[in-house]
Amino acid sequence: METRVFLGKKPAGIERDKNGKLINNLPPQLELSMPVMFSAMSYGSISYNAHKCLASAAEELGILYNTGEGGLHEDFYRYGANTVVQVASGRFGVHENYLNAGAAIEIKMGQGAKPGIGGHLPGAKIVGDVSRTRMIPEGTDAISPAPHHDIYSIEDLRQLVFSLKEATEYKKPVIVKVAAVHNIAAIASGIARSGADIIAIDGFRGGTGAAPTRIRDNVGIPIELALAVVDKRLREEGIRNNVSLIAGGSIRSSADVVKAVALGADAVYVATAALLAMGCHLCRNCQTGNCNWGIATQRKELVSRLDPETGRKRLVNLMTAWRHEIKEFMGGMGINSIEALRGNRLMLRGIDLTEKELEILGVYHAGE
């Protein structure tokens, strides 16, 4: 069974030269061995050892991990083929070498765990290499504004998308990440026309430990509803192949991956599951910098508790198990590839959902 996927803009049709040979008109693509990526967790919010676990596991698995908005430590440039570099509103650690280091560039417009809210990394975590990588003074709070101060329209977003493409000679796909909110279909339609190659939609109740609890649990909408309406809107407008879709937020198991793909996702982002594999106990005190498990801390005596080699093995074990389970789901549905599953809502049935929810999701109720 084929679990491999390619993310990026797809050409409208096949072109041939005068001799009948295919012309390669394919824009830059991301190749994943399975439809899963490690979501954005910045260096500073998590430790050097945690980042090394994610980077080395992504390399071994043939998938990608996201740097988050804290820049990329120079030791991890060698994992560039498996790295998504992020540009957020604070623009921490963003420079030409950073942009060219990764396989793709992500513009973070919003985050599912805290839509409409910026980021704040306490100064206690801005030490040593974190300060140097983010290019800010030690002990300074790293505050990311809620909006990008140069983006207030789709036209502004388009300017940044093409600025990043120019800086990387059009060799890397550009992802735009947004939070799942009530008008997400119209937002995604605009992003698809901005020149972005991939849209990442982040649902509510994401696992960001430092997000305000009331915001995390009550602002935004479930990723399933957001994904379904976006996929439907892009198909109706005939631009679905202009972008790939990544779903994130509350993707906790291989079953969630299969459901997301069937609702229209090309791939998913996971972060909480990856942290749990590394030893996270979901204390949700990440902002204090006192993580006993060596993940969300910069204290050397605590960071040393997380062994990068052990963490890498656990992440590889988790994703390998998920890949086997995804294949089992596909076999049970009589489907032999992720491409055949994408947007195939006939494989889904709803339980304990209202008629309106079923209508939005585009699925039948169980028993139908």
CA distance 122 to 134: 13
pLDDT of amino acid 216: 81
**In CATH, what number is assigned to the domain containing residue 329?**
3.20.20.70
CA distances from 315 to 65, 245, 282 (A): 12, 24, 17
Structure confidence at residue 295 (pLDDT): 96
Q: Is 44:210 a contact under the CB 8 Å cutoff?
A: no
* pLDDT on residue 155: 96
β-strand pairing of 142-144 with 119-121:
antiparallel
- In this structure, what token pair is assigned to residue 49? 């050892």
pLDDT value, residue 284? 83
Residues in the chain predicted with pLDDT less than 50, given as ranges, are none
* 165-184 pLDDT tens trace: 999 999 999 999 999 999 99
Number of domains in the chain: 1
pLDDT tens per residue, range 77-125: 999 999 999 999 999 999 999 999 999 999 999 998 888 888 889 999 9
Output the CA–CA distances (angstroms, integers) from residue 209 to 45, 247, 295, 363, in the order listed: 10, 19, 11, 33
**Looking at residue 285, what is its pLDDT?**
86
Instruction: State the residue range of the domain holding 56.
Output: 5-365
Predicted local distance difference test score (pLDDT) of residue 349: 96
